[in-house]
Amino acid sequence: MCDGAADRCRLTTASKLEAVAIETELVKEYRFGKQQLMEIWGHACAIGIVKAFPLTSLGKRQPTVLVVCGPEQNGCIGLVCARHLRMFEYAPTIFYPKRSPSPLHQDSMVQCERMDIPFLSYLPTEVQLINGAYNLVVDAIVGPEMDPADLKEPYTGILLTLKQVKIPIASLDLPSGWEVEGDNTDGINPDVLISLMAPKKCAAGFSGKHFLAGRFLPFDIQRKYELNLPECSGTDCLVEL
Amino acid sequence: MCDGAADRCRLTTASKLEAVAIETELVKEYRFGKQQLMEIWGHACAIGIVKAFPLTSLGKRQPTVLVVCGPEQNGCIGLVCARHLRMFEYAPTIFYPKRSPSPLHQDSMVQCERMDIPFLSYLPTEVQLINGAYNLVVDAIVGPEMDPADLKEPYTGILLTLKQVKIPIASLDLPSGWEVEGDNTDGINPDVLISLMAPKKCAAGFSGKHFLAGRFLPFDIQRKYELNLPECSGTDCLVEL
């Protein structure tokens, strides 16, 4: 863990353009594959969730986790995260209402299905059912790649439901519905945020438990974008800010 | 760590056919991608090396590691391992004498090059130079996919050199040159072995530090092949046997 407020201030946050530029550079210049990035990020997110919600801390009899996956990249990271949570002895259930036809998503989905991770056919609108069944919700609906104004049903309805749940929410990369650079007081209010590569600008005001999974980033990229990432210890792939 | 001798006895070892069958099933049935598997395995191998040779334990001033990569899959795992070692603050140098044209290898190589990991143009035959320059050698020359009898130059010569080095060797998946199911008293003698998925039959007699990186394996595969993998703790991706 870094030294709290002081380090947090020195930490660079990324604009939407910077977030896109870093990922493009990783893929084009460093030849990282999308599948490889999904694996690195989904794995790191699962580890962040274990750190924030250890098995022994869960209130319910079963270590249930609801993972809500969107149609784009953030959703695919959610699928990979769910698979790793299963390996870490959690009991994830996935809600993935619009299945992307991309092989990346399809393969990740098959991996989850073949590992007997159940998929919900619909999300209960009665939030008591969600509060009662799960220990927490993983929000993998949308990342910085999409403008929240472009969000449509069923995701706008899902976000309304998530704003009412009483169990903790852990958001991957960005709380879904938040604008990367905006004021998001009206959005969902996650307890945990796992930023990928660099915290986005909107995360500067986030007051929950905040992890950063950026260790895999080549040092030249860290320098070029002045990311000023705090050091991870040992072989950890993420650090608590 | 598992309970030593007793657990080691109960642990199932895999024949060459079984090792191939498990990987084929992962790719065909579970839709794991090769790039994804390389990332998982290379990352796990790097963590095994950190566990066996922590930075603070290294005798030389610089945390140098020589990673010797073969032309097939084992070599690609070595490239990924080298990249993660770099992120863990080690100073890897890669010797990769025959570069595979496959995009998987090419991309991994570019990732290493762009992270300023140096590539050796030849391996000194004077072993004193190797002993003097590096803290350890990572052997990623050949895995169970190739019959050692099919090994040609430059690898036969490299193995002769590695048999003479005095610094420790860590082998990935299988000590290079060992037959999966054979008696290998004449081969190299690594200090550390990081078995992937399941220890191969020949590892039953291995007396060095032995890690198993199989946690990502779907439970159905573990059961089907009666792998009887020891439990990993927390979010660890490998376990010491």
Query: Quick check: B113 pLDDT over 60?
Result: yes
Buried b / exposed e along B153-174 (16+ C-beta atoms within 10 A): ebbeebbebbeebebbbbbbbb
Residue B223 Cα to chain centre, angstroms: 24
Residues from chain A that touch B22, judged by Cβ atoms under 8 A, are none
pLDDT score of A227: 87
List chain B residues with CB under 8 Å of A33: 35, 107
**Of the candidates A39, A87, A219, which has its C-beta nearest B39's C-beta?**
A39
Domains and CATH numbers, chain A: 35-217 (3.40.50.10260)
Residue A178: what pLDDT?
93
Residue B88 in tokens: 């863990």
Instruction: Assign B173 a pLDDT band (cuts: 50, 70, 90).
Output: very high
Q: Is the pTM of this model over 0.90?
A: yes
Tell me how far apart the alpha carbons of residues B145 and B179 are, in angstroms, rounded to a whole number: 10
Residue in B33, B40, B111 nearest the CB of A32: B111
Please report the ipTM that was assigned to this predicted complex: 0.92
B61 touches chain A (CB under 8 A): no
Report, as an integer, the average pLDDT of B123-142.
96
Res B108: pLDDT: 98
pLDDT at A9: 40
pLDDT computed for residue A28 by the predictor? 96
Q: What is the pLDDT of residue B4?
A: 44
Q: How far is B142 from chain A (nearest CA, A)?
A: 23
Tokens matching residue B89: 């603050």
Q: Which two tokens stand for residue A154?
A: 């069923």
Conformation bin of residue B177: beta by default, left when phi > 0, alpha when psi is -120 to 50: left
Provide the pLDDT for residue B240: 95
Residue ranges of chain A whose pLDDT lies below 50: 1-9
What is the Cα–Cα distance from A158 to A178, expressed in whole angstroms?
14
Show residues of chain A in contact with B114, CB under 8 Å: 29-31, 218, 220
Task: Give the model confidence (pLDDT) of B43-94 as tens digits.
Answer: 999 999 999 999 999 999 999 999 999 999 999 999 999 999 999 999 999 9
Q: How does the average pLDDT of chain B come out, rounded?
A: 92
pLDDT, residue A135, reads: 98
* Integer Cα distance of B101 and B93 in angstroms: 21
pLDDT band at B8 (very low <50, low <70, confident <90, very high): very low
Average pLDDT over residues B226-237: 89
Q: Taking CB atoms and an 8 Å limit, are B114 and A47 in contact across chains?
A: no
The answer to whether A44 touches A213, Cβ cutoff 8 Å, is: yes
